Homo-oligomer: A and B are copies of this chain.
Amino acid sequence: MNEAAFLTALRALPLHPGARGLADDAAVLGTQVLTHDMLVEGVHFLPTDPAGDVAWKLVAVNLSDLAAKGAVPTGVLMGYGLAGDDAWDRAFLAGLAETLTAFACPLLGGDTVVLPKGAPRMLSLTAIGEASVAPARSGARMGDALWVTGTIGDAGAGLAIAQGADGPGELLARYRRPVPRLAEGLALAPLVSAMMDVSDGLLIDASRMAAASGCGVAIELGDVPLSDALRSMPSPTFVSSAVEKSPHSAQSGFSTSLETNGRGEGLSELGTVLAAVTAGDDYELLFALAPGLQPPVPATRIGMFAAGPGLTLTHRGEPVPLPKRLGFEHSA
């Protein structure tokens, strides 16, 4: 079963009302927000990623779900697979201490398991938070504007750098040490019609928000915020056969650019932005805001919710066909 089929099957199980139909980033129990994510070596992180960065990412990706619901972290429960590598464990623990301190998010409990020899490292985390308002992913209305915090595509480029491409260290840091937008989420929660974090790629996540909200969404690619570091990245390093063949390829999304420009030349501006909006691991906040409202935190307006289902793209006003892959989708 692929992820979508499995999720559909899960929706047929006895669900708690707080599960929000398994169509949101997190569950909501009164004022409490709960989210659970697993990280698996070779899927969500590279064997060569520093252990301390893996600890950071494990916590950060879960706190990003809390941020999307405007929640303040209460604590986390962690599941940790011991693989008999003391140096890795110690570096992980040091990174975890740093992360929990940085986000004022203490450990509540967890579980350890000794992994069978040769098994990939496995980690799980449940994050708990408190939110007075927890905006759903499904509340966007026709006419709402679509906004996003920060810049898009940096982590995807950072993954390519982690795999050997040339590029600035700040992009690598965006991949290895994403910063959940907790303060922004808290400020935005009372104002937005819908909010979620961008984890699988801007296009696929925006499509999901539109689908959950029962409307369509139009994105102007020319308005998608790209960092100077990403714009300055030497384009041939965006794609590599290593990235394309690795389990991360779908996550990096940068193989998309191969389709638009496979001649080894520099990527076009459109190629760069298409690569960015189909890359994963951004952990920015994507939100719908009623027309006329201005967000209280730095953010960029990139589109609008519209009638009719689905996603439509333009670039400087010209229609752009949808790329074959909108982002990271699990399949098995």
Contacts and interface: CB of A to CB of B under 8 A. Distances in A.
A103 B19 CA distance: 17
A100 to B, nearest CB: 5
A3 to B, nearest CB: 5
Given A6-B89, A36-B126, A13 B77 contact: no
B101 A14 contact: yes
Nearest to A250: B114
A14 B106 contact: yes
B331 A114 contact: yes
Nearest to A103: B14
Given A107-B14, A107-B22, A110-B36, A115 B81 contact: no
A123 to B, nearest CB: 9
B113 A44 contact: yes
A269 interface: no
A111 interface: yes
Interface stretch (A26-34, A223-231, A296-304): A26-34
Contacts of A32: 32
Contacts of A75: 16, 18-19, 27, 29
Nearest to A39: B113
Contacts of A15: 106-108
Query: This chain: how many copies in the complex?
Result: 2
Q: For chain A, what secondary structure do more than half of its interface residues adopt (helix, strand, loop), or is it mixed?
A: mixed
A38 B77 contact: no
B128 A120 contact: no
A84 interface: yes
A79 B127 CA distance: 13
A79 B75 CA distance: 18
Nearest to A116: B42
Given A115-B43, A116-B43, A331-B114, A22 B109 contact: yes
B34 A128 contact: yes
Contacts of A41: 116
Given A126-B77, A332-B82, A38 B107 contact: no
Contacts of A79: 36-38, 79, 124
Contact of A332 (B22, B84, B97): B84
A112 interface: yes
A325 to B, nearest CB: 15
Interface of A: 1-3, 6-7, 9-10, 12-16, 18-19, 22, 24, 26-27, 29, 32, 34-44, 74-75, 77-84, 86, 89-90, 93, 96-97, 100-101, 105-116, 119-120, 122, 124, 126, 128, 247, 330-332
